[in-house]
Structure 1
Amino acid sequence: METLEMGEVGTSLMTSEAKPTPARPPNKFERLFQPCLGELVGTTFFVFIGCVSVIENVESAGRLQPALVHGLAVAIMVACMDGISGSHFNPPFTLAIYLCGGMEMNMVVPYLACQLLGGVLGAAMAKAMTSRENYTKAQGAAFALLQSDSQIGGALFGEIAMTCLVTMVVLLGAVNSKTKSPLAPFMVGCTVIINVLAGGDVSGTCLNPARAFGPAIVSNYWIYHWVYWVGPIGGGLIAAVLVRLLLGDRNIRLILK
């Protein structure tokens, strides 16, 4: 509202202090294009750093090194980009946040497209930076752990469960007003670290179709690639259902209000 109360008018006339300029509402660029650019840039650098960490340490990486790199990269990018795009960088996060009322529907498809494009750009940057020998040996940091049908069950369940966990942390730490915390970037990063440490040898701990899609495109490695879409998206949807029905505050929860 642009109106002024009578008391405010009297105060402004009798004092020489300038009233603070009201906050300018965000323009179209800040509402539509800048958030998409934030998702594109954030996902690009997350995938770039993650891929390089695997490609250049393929012989001795183990689980600790990629766990720390991916978790810290997530924490840093989330903290930096939160005020611009909300720092999703992951399609299951975007879907879950939308289902819990944390974003408008018209931004969902642009966010998903920017995340997938960012995954491809990040993987291409990693290929440009690393040696051909190491890149080939690591399959471009694509998820090459699964080699037989007998591994699919455990890997798929792991991707579902671990993505569900990290998505719940996102929803409860950044969307749900009752549990929202300024430590959300730290909590999400730590959750990524513990997930990679726990399940890295089972599925590779993708948790993010954009992280799987980019290296698969650039290295043309598609073996059991579907696991890294079905698992993370399934886990993200389960987390959204849990928060929407049971764990969310009264604004989010659909039942038992």
Structure 2
Amino acid sequence: MPIRNIAVGRPEETYHPDALRAGLAEFISTLIFVFAGEGSGMAFAKLTHGADTTPAGLIAAAIAHAFGLFVAVSVAANISGGHVNPAVTFGAFVGGNISLLRGILYWIAQLLGATVACGLLKFVTNYQTTPHLLSPQGWVWNAFVFEIVMTFGLVYTVYATAIDPKRGSVGTIAPIAIGFIVGANILAGGAFTGASMNPAVSFGPALVSWSWHNHWVYWAGPLIGGGLAGLIYEFVFIGNSSHEPLPTADY
């Protein structure tokens, strides 16, 4: 069972050179992702004089986040695993694929990366901000469930294409699949919740603009969804000794 694999880790995991390099990779990748994703929304709002919630704006946000995440995961995959998301790190932890201490290091790096990205965006756009807020405000609990479901799909995809040791050749398309599921979820949930699926993506704008309204949704929803995906995939598929990858011809 995956619970047997959960580990706190050793203190040296927080200062070992390899761990620090992994943390730096998470910082840079999260900065790249948030700068592109949030920046695309700010650019669209400027071009349309604030009309950032139009159908075209939703499509632009989906494409920018999908492309940005594809790059962010790709450039960090061989160093840190390319989590770029506290919910992904949490899902990996509950599945026994990362220690608690290393996971905390990743969280710090991811939150710092998102904050720096939003701070840079605020500076270069003359203090324009795009905080994550629920729309409409009455959908708080609906948005909570929305974030759980969307993040479950994201972390499940991460497990299937990047973490599963028996993934076979499918693992080579992991960054593409991860970017695609985020883009698709933004098209589905962007109009309702902002489709965060990533506490860091919401934390950066909230901190820089100091707007914390309903912020808990963007932590609780993704962490629950990511944790469930990690437990289910690890227990049902990775932990099942009978699980074997299909021959390439069967895909």
Question: In the aligned structure 2, how far is the partner of 1:64 from the partner of 1:215?
Answer: 20
Matched, 1:154 2:138: no
**Equivalence for 2:164:** 176
| Inter-CA distance 220–251: structure 2 relative to 1 (3 Å threshold) | farther
Contact 1:44 1:121 in 2 (8 A): yes
- Tell me if structure 1 keeps the 8 A contact 2:27–2:110: yes
Determine if contact 1:101/1:252 at 8 Å carries over to the other structure.
no
Matched, 1:186 2:176: yes
For residue 226 of structure 1, what is the amino acid of its counterpart? W
Q: Indicate the larger mover: 96-105 or 232-241.
A: 96-105
* Structure 1 residue 238 displacement after superposition: 1.0
1:89 deviation in Å? 1.0
In 1, distance between residues paired with 2:136 and 2:229?
29
Contact 2:70–2:176 at 8 Å: present in 1 too? yes
Q: Deviations over 1:71-98 (max 9, x none)?
A: 1100011111111111111111011112
Asked if structure 2 preserves the Cα contact closer than 8 Å seen for 1:208 and 1:232, the reply is yes
- Does the aligned pair in 2 maintain the 1:146–1:224 contact within 8 Å? no
Please name the residue that 2:235 is paired with: 245
> How many Å separate the matches in 2 of 1:216 and 1:251?
44
What's the TM-score once normalised by structure 1's chain length?
Answer: 0.80
Find the counterpart in structure 1 of residue 216 from structure 2. Answer: 226
Q: Which residue of 2 aligns with 1:203?
A: 193
The number of residues matched between the two structures is 219
Distance in 2, Cα, partners of 1:130 & 1:173: 37
- Please name the residue that 2:95 is paired with: 100
Aligned-residue sequence identity (percent) comes to: 31
- How big is the alpha-carbon RMSD for the aligned residues of Structure 1 and Structure 2? 2.0
Q: Whole-Å Cα distance in 1 between the matches of residues 74 and 141 of structure 2?
A: 35
Counterpart AA for 1:104 = S
Report how far residue 252 of structure 1 moved. 11
Verify the 8 A CA contact 1:93 1:236 in the aligned structure 2. yes
Q: Bigger radius of gyration, 1 or 2?
A: 1
Is 1:67 the counterpart of 2:67? The answer is no
Q: Which residue of 1 aligns with 2:85?
A: 90
Gaps of 5+ in 2: 1-15, 46-50, 244-251
2: CA distance, partners of 1:238 / 1:199: 19
- 1:38 Cα offset (Å): 0.3
CA distance in 2, matches of 1:174, 1:109: 20
* Counterpart AA for 1:155: A
Q: Does 1:131 align with 2:126?
A: yes
Residue of structure 1 in register with 2:246 after alignment: none
Alignment correspondent of 1:14:
none
Structure 1 residue 202: deviation in Å? 1.1
Q: Confirm or deny: 8 A CA contact 2:150 2:185 kept in the other structure.
A: yes
Residue aligning to 1:214:
204
Residue 164 of structure 1: aligned partner: 152
